[in-house]
A = this chain, B = another copy of it.
Amino acid sequence: MPRRIVIIGAHAAGIDAASAARKTDRTAEITLITKQAKAGYSPCGIPFVLGRHIPSFDNLVVFPPAYYRMMKLDLRLETTATNVDTEAKTVKIEDKTGKQETLHYDSLIIATGAYPFVPPIKGREKKGVYVLRTIKDGEIIDKAIGEAKNATVIGAGLIGLETAVAFTERGLKTTVVELLPYVLPLMLDEDMARIVQKMLEEKGVTVITKNAANEILGADKITGVSVGGERIPADIVVVATGIRANTELAKNAGIIIGDTRGIKTNMRMETNIKDVYAVGDCAESTSLVTHRPILSQLGTTAVRQAKVAGINAAGGYAAFLGCLGSAVTKLFDTEIGATGVTEFMAGRAGMKTVSATLTSKTRPEYYPGALPIKIKLVVEKNTELLVGAQIIGGEEVPQRINALSFAIQKQMTIRELAKADTCYAPPLNETWEPMVLAAELVMRKL
């Protein structure tokens, strides 16, 4: 009898798990279940559709129907998994017509993702208050932009800032409200975050930090947001204060949830219950720096976990060793990236670190088009190991983050980085690579 693999969730994590399972076991019966009407799209692209960089939401669908046919995946759209019985190895599902069915599995992969967390702000239930997670959310906001003049985004994380940029690009007067002292608090330290904030302000975005949105004002139609006693006008409010792992189904099935609120897994992405795996935004990882559990909730982590779970669920062997939370974005023309831990996060984890920030250019001064770049490196004091990096600049930030991510993964010391062999050509970059110069700067403080 063919192996039966059931996957709950059909975005990056679910589908990459299914693909890996299919490549491992050609005859397995693989069923994908999703509540949504569309599967296999890139949610990370949504703010860039709002900003009109991508023509339409349909473009975000990365896996067309033909893919499921080719890979022989049984995709059930608009279908909800209502119960998992890990003794009987069954999943109860219900489609949009209310029809119920019980699926038997040999391996189960939970890729239920996460939902936008909306704090209890007074008036949050009003019309005109949105979250941004699905294409449906995106379509609703896109429509609302048409008639709006002012927007407020609550939360200055990646999604919040990307959405604020899109609003500004669409001509809305936009305000971002962040409870914490600075923007992108999961990626950057305060000194680097201030640079991003200044850039946003120069582009016309109003940024209010260290303040809560107290109330969403207006009756039928919202008119503004009350922040620290002040009224900020707003026709649209987007709440982007973070996401929470969808773990109810798992919890009800007796699966252990970790302190991060994500599902606990081992190196094979298996939960505490045999043959049940968890991947993506609902699943924990281990930090390669602190060796503690973290909830990465990045697409790149999701697909890497998914591949490992898919192989294991199909009878193969693969291990996921952890992640660094390497992340990047582009806000207007500025690229912002980070990997490993920030100075602040390292301190909270009890690590003693030394940091330095280098300011340089992306190309030689004499080559037209050189752009500024700022690199902050965080180094563990005793071992002199690189443990984190933050970069803000106009060119090649993502691949510098990848280079430093490789360095952290391979336990490069700051002395090794200061001697690293790099490439150079005038139209592309500088003789002395800024990452190397930043390493020297840290060494002087050791």
Question: How far is B364's CA from A64's CA once the two chains are assembled, in angstroms?
Answer: 14
In the complex, A225→B269 CA distance in Å? 65
- Contact partner of A300 among B324, B424, B427, CB < 8 A? B424
Does A220 make an interface contact (CB < 8 A)? no
A431 touches B300 (CB 8 A): yes
Q: Are B423 and A300 in contact (CB under 8 A)?
A: yes
Select A54's contact among B55, B337, B366, B405, beta carbons within 8 Å: B366
A256 near B: Cβ within 8 Å?
no
Q: Report yes or no: B423 in contact with A416, Cβ–Cβ below 8 A.
A: no
Q: How many copies does the complex hold?
A: 2
Q: Which residues of B lie under 8 Å from residue A409 when comparing CB positions?
A: 412, 416, 420-421
Alpha-carbon distance A424/B301, docked complex (angstroms): 10
Give the distance to chain B from A297, nearest Cβ to Cβ, in Å: 13
Residues of B within 8 A of A301 (CB): 421
Interface size, A (range): 35 or more
A339 beta carbon closer than 8 Å to chain B: yes
Any chain B CB within 8 A of the CB of A422? Answer: yes
Contacts of A330 in B (CB 8 A): 425, 427-428
B427 with A48: CB separation less than 8 A: yes
Residues 313-332 of A contacting B (Cβ, < 8 Å):
320-321, 323-330
Q: Would you call A44 an interface residue if the criterion is a C-beta within 8 Å of the partner chain's C-beta atoms?
A: yes
Q: Which stretch from A71-79, A112-120, A144-152, A392-400 is at the chain B interface? A: A392-400
Name A396-424 residues within 8 Å CB distance of B.
Answer: 396-403, 405-407, 409-412, 416-417, 419-424
- In the bound assembly, the distance between CA atoms of A60 and B365 in angstroms comes to 9
Please tell me if the beta carbons of A44 and B326 are within 8 angstroms of each other in the complex.
Answer: no
Contacts of A398 in B (CB 8 A): 396, 399, 423-425, 428-429
Q: State whether A299 touches B427 (Cβ < 8 A).
A: no
User: Are A59 and B402 touching (Cβ within 8 A)?
Assistant: no
| Interface set, chain A 276-325, CB cutoff 8 A to B | 288, 298-301, 303-304, 320-321, 323-325
Whether A53 pairs with B410 at a CB distance below 8 angstroms is: no
Q: Closest B residue to A403 by CB, please name it.
A: B403
Interface pair B412/A403, CB less than 8 Å apart: no
Query: Once the chains are docked, how many angstroms separate the CA of A372 from the CA of B382?
Result: 43
The answer on a CB contact under 8 Å between B367 and A48 is yes
Q: Can you list 27 A-B contacts (CB < 8 A)?
A: A42-B426, A45-B364, A48-B426, A53-B427, A62-B364, A288-B421, A300-B421, A300-B423, A300-B431, A301-B421, A304-B421, A321-B419, A323-B421, A325-B421, A327-B424, A328-B428, A330-B427, A339-B423, A401-B422, A402-B403, A406-B407, A406-B410, A406-B412, A406-B420, A409-B412, A409-B420, A410-B412
The interface of chain A, by Cβ under 8 A from chain B, is: 12, 42, 44-45, 48, 53-55, 59-60, 62, 288, 298-301, 303-304, 320-321, 323-330, 335, 337, 339, 364-368, 396-403, 405-407, 409-412, 416-417, 419-429, 431-433, 435
Return the 5 tightest CB-CB contacts between A and B, nearest first. Answer: A399-B399, A410-B410, A403-B403, A326-B423, A59-B366
